[in-house]
Chain A
């Protein structure tokens, strides 16, 4: 009976040994992510009407064509050029702006354009915490599924902060970046800051010719330590100036600047040269293509683009998603957040990261054009913008024209924080200005600049695209090269859950490895060891149990061995 049992156990062990050791000879199979499992977004935002791309005239304002997939709302441009006080209610209703958002009056110099400009800005939070549900609102995605907590200067709006009551998505006027402001030399400009936010803020007009204090409005350099006290929630302050010099400048909040600037309270402000009948597009909401450029720009250039580079720290933005109580947010930001231990995670161009930059921040050109690019770096570190296929000429540093005889051409443009560069991009195919038509990348050459929280391809990457390389929906035409960009338009990609090389070949040689079928090698080894142990144990038991028998056998064997030996002797 014990013998049978032992035999059976031994056989079982042998079988187990055989199966266990057999499985170890093959590595796990590749697991492919089914495209149906991804939340795929349309590459071009379907909410934006393709009719917005066309050249058109609204309220007598000529609006240039903008063939990209998400052009600016033409009604915004008409309102920005004429002023919200000089347009029909019908056009105003298409903008969502408050009727007093941009007030333009009084042609003081009699040159045919208004010279008193009042611009009302509010401060809006994006992607902040709610005490009612475990989500954030109003939401603004800088890339698929990427919703950093942010604050922006927003043009004064009317109505809800979200698209509608059912939606948590932000009203399109509430977005990154803070809008580009455009005024003329000599205009009497009032920027009215209505602090709709729950923290104190201010506006500092970096580079803009503004008096340190104004008789009626008091100190107006925006600095709480030198010129004025913080503007508290619910309060309004007027910043008034009459600039004497043109140039690409910068405005930002100067309260707790080390956090407020990075949170998004930073925008470009352009002082244009004074020209007769120069109706300017006072706000370029979302920056990018200027569809109603100033007369001075039109004299020299075929097109104009505002390119606002920014960077944000995820840990900073997370604070407003973690807390709702303003006191806790203040404590975390002012006392506990240490910028010297921080690193930037999100790199944006005009408020968005790749692939959304393809929707609205492409530089769309034709051969033999002169294009004016205004660049601003509002991030915390130096950036190095590289133009593939082109060398552009630096015409202005920080709004001041560089000696024309000494202007240089480069293909990497280094920009310190807060710095502005005006570039002249000439699409002349001579091997220097341009290497010819194509879909040429324009990106920050610090390699983290092309990542979104460390995931490439992302960041502030965009393209200089020739019209011949544009598809019907205004995106770069890449499909004929076998390129598929659809994976970038999924949130799973930026959640780092998509094996980016799985579709490079048929069998996904660089796809995601699965798990071992059955047992993995480590468990195999330990199981084998256990089996060996069991066998050894059984053997020892056997030896112990049958020790007398073994002894007898041994004795018998010994005597047998001895006897023939002895016999031989």
Chain B
């Protein structure tokens, strides 16, 4: 009971927070406000944005919230706007300055949290209707690279599956204290500028955005484009339906196109060290070394015997000739 009340409390707070964004935009560009007015998800993503910022610093609350979002999400709240939260939010962010860049496919706040190429309502030509509405939580951070030796950054999952024509909302939780991106490529260019959908946020913080995937089976590259984050592990794929061709070099999922060459190193071992300590062990070393040496000698001897056996016919021939001569 207490839990549900806190959740509702948070939800109301989130709506209040995100409403100020809308209010600002309204003041700036009325035409674009229209666009967002009709879209429930424009608000929900801001909701997550701010929730992540205020909560995920120490607790995992933002994470919980994101997970529960699917069940509590209610489009009925869309117009339930509270304009009062603006000042509180500003102080919370430390400086009084806000950038909210808005055009149809580019939203950015004063900390560089970014949503680009979002699509809430435009159906791909291959779809007649939206097949399913899915919420996917994606976590990003150095700690997820732990499972993949030889990488430095990773997402928590390397593949997500959705149905063709699905409307997918990604909640991108950056758990590091640096910038990360959730960047998707290869989407239809008539719906997505450069065929891209892009979430970006400096952690620890969350940002959310929505797309509608095409109606054909396909596989899309997801990565972080910060220099060498993809190369060092932050790479995944979104599989629509049965999927298309796999994306290469996804950690633990698909083989690398180019692999490094590995060779064993002569590393110091604890076992070597303990052997050196006691005299008893020293003797055993000598013993083993001695036997090793003997093994080598025996081997050489064996080779000699074999050569001798093989060359018997030759000797025979020589001696016969001598006799015949």
Contact = CB atoms under 8 A, between A and B. Distances in A.
A233 B149 CA distance: 15
B97 interface: yes
A93 B101 contact: yes
B95 A105 contact: yes
Given A158-B112, A233-B142, A233-B153, A196 B95 contact: no
B105 to A, nearest CB: 13
A132 B108 contact: no
Nearest to A89: B101
Contact of A325 (B225, B227, B260): B260
A105 B95 CA distance: 8
A325 B150 contact: yes
Listed residue (B149, B198, B258, B262) with the most chain A CB atoms within 10 angstroms of its CB: B258
Given A125-B227, A198-B228, A234-B142, A165 B110 contact: no
A326 interface: yes
Interface stretch (B34-42, B80-88, B176-184): B176-184
Interface string A116-146: 0000001011101111111000100000000
B92 interface: no
B228 A197 contact: yes
A328 B260 contact: yes
A236 interface: yes
Nearest to A195: B178
B248 A132 contact: yes
Interface in A169-191: 170, 174
Given A99-B110, A158-B108, A198-B153, A234 B177 contact: yes
Contact of A89 (B99, B226, B257): B99
Nearest to B183: A160
A164 B194 contact: yes
A128 B228 contact: yes
B33 interface: no
Given A131-B258, A133-B257, A325-B260, A196 B99 contact: no
A327 B262 CA distance: 10
Nearest to B102: A89
A158 B114 contact: yes
B177 A99 contact: no
Contacts of B12: none
Contacts of A124: 226-227
B249 A131 contact: yes
Listed residue (B101, B109, B183) with the most chain A CB atoms within 10 angstroms of its CB: B101
B120 interface: no
Interface in B150-177: 150-153, 176-177
Nearest to B186: A165
Nearest to A92: B99
Interface in B122-155: 141-142, 149-153
B111 A100 contact: yes
A326 B195 CA distance: 31
A158 B178 contact: no
Contact of B150 (A93, A134, A138, A326): A326
A85 B150 contact: no
A337 interface: no
A236 B177 CA distance: 6
Contacts, number: 131
A170 B227 CA distance: 9
Interface string A66-97: 00000000000000000001100100110000
A232 interface: yes
B257 A131 contact: yes
Nearest to A93: B101
Contacts of A86: 97
Interface string A24-67: 00000000000000000000000000000000000000000000
Nearest to A152: B227
Given A324-B231, A324-B258, A331-B265, A122 B179 contact: yes
A385 interface: no
Contact of A162 (B141, B142, B194, B225): B225
Contact of A198 (B110, B114, B141, B232): B232
A98 B101 CA distance: 12
Interface in B206-244: 225-229, 231-232
B191 to A, nearest CB: 16
A328 B99 CA distance: 42
B260 A165 contact: no
A86 B150 CA distance: 42
B179 A161 contact: no
A313 interface: no
Nearest to A118: B95
A415 interface: no
Listed residue (A124, A128, A132) with the most chain B CB atoms within 10 angstroms of its CB: A132
A103 interface: yes
Contacts of B298: none
A158 B150 contact: no
Interface string A311-336: 00000000000011111100100000
Nearest to A133: B257
B200 interface: yes
A159 interface: yes
A86 B96 CA distance: 10
Given A92-B99, A131-B259, A156-B179, A196 B265 contact: no
A306 interface: no
B178 A236 contact: yes
A194 interface: yes
Interface string B235-275: 00000000000001100000011111010010000000000
Given A103-B95, A161-B225, A198-B153, A132 B112 contact: no
A233 B112 contact: no
B196 interface: yes
Interface in A212-269: 232-236
Interface in B50-94: none
B202 interface: yes
Contacts of A158: 108, 112, 114, 200
Contact of B229 (A92, A159, A196, A235): A196
Given A89-B101, A165-B196, A234-B141, A196 B179 contact: yes
Nearest to A138: B227
A194 B178 contact: yes
A323 B263 CA distance: 13
A90 B176 CA distance: 29
A99 B93 CA distance: 13
A121 B114 CA distance: 19
B254 to A, nearest CB: 11
A511 B300 CA distance: 60
Contacts of A93: 101
A306 B40 CA distance: 51
A330 to B, nearest CB: 11
Interface string A405-422: 000000000000000000
Contacts of A159: 114, 198, 200, 225
Interface of B: 95, 97, 99-101, 108-112, 114, 141-142, 149-153, 176-179, 183, 185, 194-196, 198, 200, 202, 225-229, 231-232, 248-249, 256-260, 262, 265
10 contacts: A100-B111, A124-B226, A132-B258, A158-B112, A159-B198, A165-B196, A174-B227, A196-B227, A198-B153, A233-B152
Q: Which 7 A-B pairs have the closest CB atoms?
A: A198-B152, A234-B176, A234-B142, A236-B177, A98-B112, A325-B150, A85-B97
Given A196-B229, A323-B260, 16 more contacts: A85-B110, A92-B101, A98-B112, A159-B114, A159-B200, A161-B225, A164-B194, A194-B179, A196-B178, A196-B226, A197-B227, A197-B228, A325-B262, A326-B151, A327-B150, A328-B260
